[in-house]
Each structure stands twice: as structure tokens, then as C-alpha cells.
Structure 1
Amino acid sequence: MKPIAIVQHEADAGPGHFADFLLERNLPHQTVRVFAGDAMPSSAEPYAGICSLGGSMSVNDDLPWINEELALMRDADRAGVPIIGHCLGGQLLAKAFGAQVTRNA
């Protein structure tokens, strides 16, 4: 079974209950810790799903991994790999598919 990729953006914003859920069901997963310098996967093909977690940054910040993650999400969509985004992950999903992401008033 292919693992689920979990993209973690900050050390203190880990997968928590989501990882517990996967472990309880013996579903393999791989955490990509971009905050620690892990390389963003270049393809979604090796994964059963992609989960993009939260973070204190914005999708509009100039961070080196943001465009790589946007590309991964688009690749997942093309490949039929499910994607879920939480907080920052939701911003990334929206931007990856053409939405304008702005500050909430």
C-alpha cells in the first residue's frame, strides 16, 4: 500500500490526531518536514494521498517550498491522488487551483 504524504510546515504544527488515525488503521504515512529542510516530493504518484498541514505563515509569503507544494498539489490532482488541506494547507489548495487568497478582515 502506498503511504500518505503529510506535509508539515512548522515543528509545533504536527499531524497529531490525523497521524493517530492513520496508525490505528495501519495506514502507512510519511511526514515531509519542510521546516527541517526535507525535500518536497516532486511527484504525487508514490502516494495514496497528500495531507497539507497548517502553519503561521501565509500562502503568499516568499518561502522556497511554497511553489513546490503548489506543484505537488496540481500533480496530485492530475494523477487522481486525494488531497486534504488544513489551515495553511487549505490556503495552498485554494491557490494551487486558481483562487485568490487574501487576508481575512
Structure 2
Amino acid sequence: MTGIRALAIVHDHLSIAGHVGERLAERGYELEELLVVPAERYTNPDVDVVFPAPEDYGLILTLGAPWSVARRNAWIEAELALLRSAHRAGVPVVRPLLGRAVPSGADAGGPAGLVRRGRDGRRGRSGG
């Protein structure tokens, strides 16, 4: 039986899917990693990346990175477009760390604060 394809967006050569990737594999996902910034461009991460169509995947995992999403370079803009497309197509997105800020920008059209739940369980915005 073939598992559900999952795209793991790995922003730099030091990041790994780790425990999240392991849990996805346990649940039948076939994880495909896409490295955004190769090791040789780590100090100058302004690279062009072609992201695949989100509809080709059952889930997208976007990992953290050492760079801020406020620095709007080509790969961040391309990733935001990918995540907007995933949202429109109903493809689930798992987004720890930087990945939590990137989709916020994708949903709102710009950098935005993270959505958090208070002690009472109600949603509220923090930041931007």
C-alpha cells in the first residue's frame, strides 16, 4: 500500500523533520523533503526556489529557519504563494517554528502575529 505524500519544506541544511516527520511516517505518510537554501548559500539565503503544486500532496510540513519572514526575498514570496494555494485547495499544513509565522503572512497578505489561545481557550493575536 502506498502512503499519502507529504511535502516537508526544509529551509536550511541544518533543519530536519525530526519527531514530526517520524510521527507522520508512523501514520502512513511518505515524506518528501525540499531543501530551500543549500549549505553553500547559508550566509546569503536569497535564492530562487520552484515549489511543487500543493495539490500533489496530502499534507505540507514547513519547518523553521534561522531567517526572519520579515525579510521578503524570492523564496519566502514563493513559499507564501504555495501556502495560499494549499489553503485554497484544502491541503493541510503543519507549521512549527518559522512555519507558524509564514502561513500567518500567507493568510493575511503580509507579516502578522501568531494566533494564540489564552488560558480561557479563546483565540487572540499576539505581535504585529
Q: Which moved more, 1:77-86 or 1:15-24?
A: 15-24
Q: Secondary structure at the match of 1:33?
A: strand
TM-score, normalization by structure 1? 0.84
Question: Residue 69 in 1 paired to residue 79 in 2?
Answer: yes
Pick aligned residue for 1:82 from 88, 92, 112: 92
Q: Which has the higher contact order (CA 8 A, sep 6+)?
A: 1
- Quote how far apart the aligned CAs of 1:26 are: 3.4
Runs of 4 or more off by more than 6 Å in structure 1? none
TM-score, normalization by structure 2? 0.70
Pick aligned residue for 1:49 from 42, 53, 59: 59
The answer (yes or no) to whether the contact 1:44–1:81 under 8 Å persists in 2 is yes
Gaps of 5+ in 2: 39-46, 114-126
Counterpart of 2:32 in structure 1: which amino acid?
Q
Q: CA RMSD for the aligned pairs?
A: 2.1
Pick aligned residue for 1:60 from 59, 70, 75: 70
Q: Report the structure number with the largest CA radius of gyration.
A: 2
Counterpart of 1:48 in structure 2: which amino acid?
G
- Quote how far apart the aligned CAs of 1:8 are: 0.6
The answer (yes or no) to whether the contact 1:42–1:68 under 8 Å persists in 2 is no
The answer (yes or no) to whether the contact 2:105–2:112 under 8 Å persists in 1 is yes
By percentage of residues, which structure has more strand? 2
Gaps of 5+ in 1: none
